[in-house]
Chain A
Amino acid sequence: MRYLTDLASSFSNLIPPRDGFGEALVELGKINQNVVALTGDLLESTRVQAFAEKYPERFVEMGVAEQNMAGVAAGMSFAGKIPFITSYAVFSPGRNWDQVRVSICYSKANVKIVGAHAGISVGPDGATHQALEDVAITRVLPNLVVVVPTDSIEAKKATLAIAEHVGPCYIRFGREKNPVITTEKTPFILGKALPMISGDDVTVLANGQMVARAIEAAKRLSTRDISVGVVNVHTVKPLDQKTIINVAKDTGAIVTAEEHQKIGGLGSAVAEVLGEHFPVPMERVGINDTFGESGEPNTLMDHYGLAVDDIIKAVERVLERKHAR
């Protein structure tokens, strides 16, 4: 396998991506006086705590009121602040979607929406707390940037990047410890997909923790002489159409992998681009139009079709279709 960027030598270091967000927020607090943080009664689990302790005068406890939080943040942004609003993704941008739509996106408020505990790997809390639709409901909103970082290091870079970007942004993280696959040297450019592994037969476009699983799938398939490329599509909107079309041209087969509903997420976004510009056989790995349930994170990842094996099977299916052409 040929690596196209800096990757960790082993994927054994496990850290929750939200830790990277928390670190970045403290750094932002130091370099930009206008950065403020708001939370909906989820100080610790959204990793705002360190910022709140260091910059108490720039931290706002909103209570369990996500709709008001979105509006207050918009108002603060109109007065020059750069608010980060933090909650679980099911509540923000879930419960407060109308406020995100009108108070933030329509008005181009410079608000950063941080959705924690996204994905099925939230685990035991069950379906109500597993955000599997958040990318779909945010990516349809004009003016909104949507980012799904793969690990804690990328989450940190992404947080710094969205603070620089003037305009509304949504960033989502899972709850669990995930493999750290990037390094400090791995580039991160908002809106630019990052090719990680070079492949000739098929390309897997993934984000979040599914990138690590896609790389693992590529490794296993390489032993069978199947050459699988992997691209980290951390920014779902604006989508890097150019890179996606190029890899479709290069390999003639695409698999997408995301911890989100197949409907409306990364897979849909890629299908839209390829359908219009360069149709090739394509398979999607994601949640299959169903709600989750309680269980251990990895049990659920396996049960709902997000295991490494599911990516391998999708690659096999797409190659069959490619060769049948």
Chain B
Amino acid sequence: MTVKELQLKATEIRTSIIEMLLEAGSGHSAGPLGMADIFTALYFEVMNIDPNKPDWADRDRLVLSCGHICPVLYATLAYRGYFPRSELMTLRRYGTRLHGHPHNLALPGIETSSGPLAQGLSQAVGMALAAKMDDKKWRTYSVLSDGEHNEGQLWEAIMFAGKNKLNNLTAIVDRNNIQIDGFTEDVMPLEPLPDKYRSFGWYVLEIDGHNFNEIIAALRHARAVFEKPTVIIAHTVPGKGVDFMENDYRWHGKPPKADEAKIALRELRTLRGKIIGEHE
């Protein structure tokens, strides 16, 4: 896909995220909007997958470790053809397959169950290790939040992946600087995060998480790294695309109300127009 097509796809996904959250009446806004570009790049450009065969043994895997941003995963999977887009509006409702936090047995394309933070990276590491044992060529991707790095389990997994030189593993850190109680550097400082990863034996890339050229280049670069797992620290703007949500930690864990959603959707329509205009 061209950058323009990817940008438009990400905008559609952001629009669905707002609509889903409004309909659900609960859920997280900022993280999903901030990660729409990266999920679009992964599912529409980088990962070797087949939505018609979600259990295909040689597929690339994506493990969402920070389960609370699942609206972006659900919307991306629906746009990619894993299940009907109409189902997005059932998010968090009784009888839905789109649970508040993802469940591997509920929906095609969901590799693990996540919610309790830091459990995803360990599972991604397990998949990558199994692939190495069997000499399989598929890759494992894991999306992590920055706040998630407060958890001890994450560092156990980081240490283990470094020890085992899992170069078939790419972790993507959503470095949006917010968590529930405030800015990450106030709640529990993470910096120097790149140095921490390097000292655990990882190859580190830092990118603008909204620049498709950088996102795709980094994801491809990671495939060419020998002897080390790669972490892509993606600097993202929480709430990206919706002005009043951007960079405001209060939007971490709540959905828009009807009037707020109206403004958000209008902004996203304007954004769509701008993207088309810019590429004319």
Contacts and interface: CB of A to CB of B under 8 A. Distances in A.
Interface of A: 36, 57-58, 60, 62-63, 65, 67-68, 70-81, 83, 98-99, 102-103, 106-108
Nearest to B121: A71
SS of A interface (majority): helix
B156 A107 contact: no
Nearest to B114: A102
A78 B123 contact: yes
B272 interface: no
A75 B116 contact: no
SS of B interface (majority): helix
Interface in B100-144: 103-105, 111-116, 118-131, 133-134
A83 B99 CA distance: 28
A70 B122 contact: yes
Interface of B: 57, 61, 63, 103-105, 111-116, 118-131, 133-134, 152-153, 156-157, 159-160
A256 B254 CA distance: 50
Contacts of A73: 126
A65 B156 contact: yes
A103 B113 contact: yes
Contacts of B130: 75-76, 79-81
Contact of B129 (A65, A72, A80): A72
B112 A72 contact: no
18 contacts: A65-B159, A67-B153, A71-B123, A72-B126, A72-B129, A72-B160, A75-B112, A75-B122, A75-B123, A75-B128, A79-B126, A80-B130, A81-B133, A83-B126, A98-B116, A102-B113, A103-B113, A103-B123
A62 B112 CA distance: 21
Contacts of B61: 78
A182 B233 CA distance: 57
A124 to B, nearest CB: 29
Nearest to A83: B126
B1 to A, nearest CB: 29
Contacts of A83: 126
B123 A108 contact: no
Contacts of A36: 133
Contacts, number: 102
B131 A79 contact: yes
Given A71-B125, A72-B125, A73-B126, A78 B156 contact: no
Contacts of A72: 122-123, 125-126, 129, 157, 160
Nearest to A111: B126
A36 B127 CA distance: 13
Contacts of B119: 71, 98-99, 102-103
Contacts of B128: 75
Closest 9 CB pairs of A and B: A75-B126, A71-B122, A79-B130, A68-B156, A75-B123, A72-B126, A65-B156, A76-B126, A67-B153
Contacts of B113: 102-103, 106-107
Given A58-B133, A107-B105, A68 B122 contact: yes
Contacts of A77: 126
B116 A60 contact: no
Contacts of B105: 107-108
A71 B133 contact: no
A73 B121 CA distance: 12
A75 B115 contact: no
